[in-house]
Amino acid sequence: QQQVKQSPQSLIVQKGGISIINCAYENTAFDYFPWYQQFPGKGPALLIAIRPDVSEKKEGRFTISFNKSAKQFSLHIMDSQPGDSATYFCAASSAASNTGKLIFGQGTTLQVKP
Amino acid sequence: GAGVSQSPSNKVTEKGKDVELRCDPISGHTALYWYRQSLGQGLEFLIYFQGNSAPDKSGLPSDRFSAERTGGSVSTLTIQRTQQEDSAVYLCASSLEWSGGGYTFGSGTRLTVV
């Protein structure tokens, strides 16, 4: 019940296209859903995050869509650029845990072709 | 410091040896986390420190793993009698108390056990 399932494992998109990565969770206590971006040799960096009181959050070319009833959330990257090529992780946590511990998905390797 | 600093960046050790990995969090961040990232895998939670509270050690995979945090700042992750399956990138993150998962990660220590 603590798992966060992420798909696809890898994704190839043409420059200018839309990249979509999906995540699903089981634990209804989760109330914070961030996405992290990781470049080779670097630690993950927070990209965008959402709480379940909203269904969508947009920051620049990055949008999170959240479906509370389906227990799913997704990352959309509009106008994908070669510089977006990285590994993306979704994650979830619960304030009730009092730890801030994040449960991460398995990651999606995105390649944006020029 | 400006970011989370981890050392060493790379460590090669012989099977059976003990290793110590160091994390220097962002100044003022009271929460500190250790995660493990195996090749092609997601991030696996290991341990969490928050101020003077007892650490959450629920993610440590075996009693060969231990961690401490001295003076509420620097943390050391120790792996005793290393095994080949311990080979991974060990990531440290810090945050302002329970900040809803807005961690700042270090670049990690890549551990290779030969």
- Three-class secondary structure of residue B25 per DSSP: coil
Residue among A6, A98, A101 minimizing CB distance to B45: A101
Rounded average pLDDT over A108-114: 96
> What average pLDDT does the segment A51-65 reach?
94
Report, as an integer, the average pLDDT of A55-74.
Answer: 95
- For residues B33 and B94, the answer to whether their CB atoms sit within 8 Å is yes
- In three-state secondary structure terms, A96 is helix
Q: Which helix (H) or strand (E) segment is A76 a member of? A: strand A72-77
Give the pLDDT score at B39.
80
Average pLDDT over all residues of chain A: 93
Please report which confidence band the pLDDT of residue A1 belongs to, taking 50, 70 and 90 as the band edges: low
Q: Do A49 and B100 touch (CB under 8 A)?
A: yes
**How confident is the model over B61-99, as pLDDT tens digits?**
999 999 999 887 899 999 999 999 999 999 999 988 665
Task: Flag if B42 and A106 touch (Cβ within 8 Å).
Answer: yes
Query: Cα–Cα distances in Å, from A78 out to A24, B40, B43?
Result: 21, 25, 26
- Sorted by sequence, the CB contacts under 8 Å of residue B28 that are 6+ apart come out as B96
d(CA B94, CA B25) in angstroms, rounded, equals: 6
d(CA B34, CA B74): 12
- Reply yes or no on whether the pLDDT at A75 is more than 90: yes
Q: How far is CA B73 from CA A79, B24, B49, B69, in A?
A: 41, 7, 10, 6
Pairing of strands A10-14, A108-113: parallel
Q: Count Cβ atoms below 10 Å from residue B29 Cβ, excluding itself.
A: 18
Q: Tell me the C-alpha distance between A53 and A72, whole Å.
A: 14
pLDDT of residue A26: 94
Per residue in B6-47, pLDDT tens? Answer: 999 999 999 999 999 999 999 988 899 999 999 867 899 999
CB contact (8 A) between residue B43 and residue A45: no
B53 Cβ contact list (under 8 Å, min separation 6): none
| Closest alpha carbon within chain A to B6 | A43
Q: Which of B98, B107, B109, B110 to mutate to test the interface with A (most CBs of A within 10 A)?
A: B98
Which of the residue ranges A44-53, A75-84, A96-105, B44-53 would you say has the lowest mean pLDDT?
Answer: A96-105
Assign B51 a pLDDT band (cuts: 50, 70, 90). Answer: confident
* pLDDT at residue B2, as a whole number: 78
The per-residue pLDDT for B101 is 59
* Nearest CB to B100; choose among A32, A41, A105: A32
Question: Is A44's CB within 8 Å of B4's CB?
Answer: no
Which residue among A51, A89, A100 places its CB closest to the CB of B42?
A89
In percent, how much of chain A has pLDDT > 90?
Answer: 82
Q: Write the Ramachandran bin of A41: left for phi over 0, alpha for psi from -120 to 50, otherwise beta.
A: left
Q: What is the pLDDT of residue A99?
A: 72
